[in-house]
Structure 1
Amino acid sequence: MADRHVLVACMLVAFLVTFLATRLVTRAIRAGRGPFRDTTVGGVHVHHQVYGIFLLLLTGTAAFTYRPESPWVEVLAVLFGVGAALTLDEFALWLHLEDVYWSAEGRTSVDAVMLATVIGALLLIGANPFDEFDADGEATVAVSVLLNAAFVGVALLKGRVVLAVVGMFVPLVAFVAALRLARPRSRWARRYDPEKLARSHARFPAARETRLDRLVDLFALPPEPADRDPFSPEPAAGGLVTREPGGSRRSG
């Protein structure tokens, strides 16, 4: 069997390349540049997450059924990364059950991709808290996992999503995130008194644009639609496929 780090590297590289290529293609389609067109079947637009879901099902089934050796296991890892990117690039669609690719809600897809990248990077460098406790017995592992899960849960309730995800692999990060101030719109902040809530608003002002926000905008902000497209992008009905009037196209 191939080395775990090699497989993670294959998945991560394929994931990032596919995500970047997909965003370039969807932006080109919306702007009316290049030869790219949306795929439609009988007037039904097939979203690219459909291909991603089929790839995930195919690679998962093949991996569990055949347990292939190198080089086929690396091929499956690459295909899995491609499928994951195509699926998560439209995370907002299957979260909101409507076509919000170029809307404010569509930023959720980029957030999901960034979190998946963080997880992949941590796995690539070998961050695995379970390895640290293997020598101490099952009881120590169980207690450590439960404590860390509690810290991760608190961090999520406080709206510290990135720190919570990193904390799944680096327990100290989850512990620190659980102690820090919650974001003002998080569930945890509902317990704050007015003074502490004011501190939270000062720490996380709604109008502040962070470097992370600017990075997300780089991928999530839509280009100007093509003049030749008579239909402005409208939120479509929920599901994996959407029907658009007169066969008009929605990027992605």
Structure 2
Amino acid sequence: MEHWWYRNVVEPGKLPLLLALAAFVVSFAVTRSVTRLIRAGRGPFHDVSVGGRHVHHVVPGVVLMCVGGFGGVAAGGRGWLAGVAAVVFGVGAGLVLDEFALILYLHDVYWTEQGQKSVEAVVTTAALLVMVLAGLSPLGVNGVDQDESQGRAGAIVTVLGNFLLVLVALLKGKLRTAVFGVLVPLVALVGAVRLARPGSPWATRAYRRRPRTATRAETRARRHQARWGRVQQRIRDLIGGTPTDGS
């Protein structure tokens, strides 16, 4: 276990990424907990205002991301300074993505249904980072023998091929499938060969002259929403809080 940790986490330089992920998740969890307490009127917490203007936590988040990002570049990804920069960046990213919907809609929609786009952005980002950390790194490892070198070369080819499948899945509007398909090629393959979601770039261009295929895609999307829509909504409510009509 120690050998695997060093060869695939420490030596390829993944430790800062692990620290950034941990800080990102903790930052989001703490921020979301505090905002829910403020919403419920509990505890000593309250909104921050300057000159009568509400200061969203995306503002300090952007500052921390800049500090951590530039600090990580200056540190070269190695040493304790890179670790500190990664933590700072992760905290900032958690604050920013917790208000991703504010950036997307340019309006305070934090407690609305639109605001739950922030939860989707956080979960998607965290899942992608976890899978990157869980996978073996084919690059940045020294002292490999011939067999291991061939294995890692094969891994690179696999990654490139899988990247094309992931790209197709993204064009078909299947964000979650693409994310989980990054390190699970079978998932990416399924997403690439199945029908595109209505309104996706692929469906808009490829199904323009194929009305039957477009109809099938819409029918499948409605069935998927009817089957899984409530489950997905309950998960989003559990993580981000139940939305209301107002902000």
Gap runs ≥5 in structure 2: 1-8, 141-149
Report the secondary structure of 2:79's partner residue.
Answer: coil
Q: Is the 8 A contact 2:19 2:83 kept in 1?
A: yes
Q: Which amino acid aligns with 1:204?
A: H
Indicate if the aligned counterparts of 2:101 and 2:114 stay in contact, CA closer than 8 A: yes
Q: 1:73 to 1:187 in 2, by over 3 A?
A: closer
- State how 1:102-113 maps to structure 2 within 5 Å: 102-113=111-122
TM-score for the superposition, normalised by structure 2: 0.76
User: Is the CA contact (8 Å cut-off) linking 1:128 and 1:170 kept in structure 2?
Assistant: no
- Specify which structure has the bigger relative contact order, considering alpha-carbon pairs within 8 angstroms and separated by 6 or more residues: 1
**1:167 is matched with which residue: 154, 174, 181?**
181
Query: Structure 1 residue 134: deviation in Å?
Result: 6.0
- 8 Å CA contact 1:53–1:83 kept in 2: the answer is yes
Deviation of the 1:215 alpha carbon: 1.5
Query: Which whole-Å CA distance do the structure 2 matches of 1:223 and 1:210 have between them?
Result: 14
Give the alignment's TM-score, normalised by structure 1: 0.75
In the alignment, what sits opposite 2:134? 125
Matches within 5 A, 1:203-218: 203-206=223-226, 208-209=228-229, 211-218=231-238
Tell me whether 1:182 sits opposite 2:199 in the alignment: no
Give unmatched runs, 5+ long, in structure 1: 225-231, 235-252
Deviation per CA, 1:12-48, whole angstroms, max 9, x where unpaired?
1111111111111001111111100111110111110
Relative to structure 1, the CA distance from residue 202 to residue 67 in structure 2 (aligned partners, 3 Å threshold; closer, same or farther) is closer
Percent identity at matched positions? Answer: 42
2:61 pairs with 42, 52, 62, which one? 52
CA pair 64-186 structure 1, distance change in 2 beyond 3 A:
closer
Match of 1:34 in 2: 43
Going by fraction, where is helix more abundant, 1 or 2? 2
Aligned to 1:243: none
Q: Name the counterpart of 2:143.
A: none
* 1:88-147 Cα deviation digits (max 9, x unpaired): 1111111111111111111110000001111110121125577888636xxx85x963x5
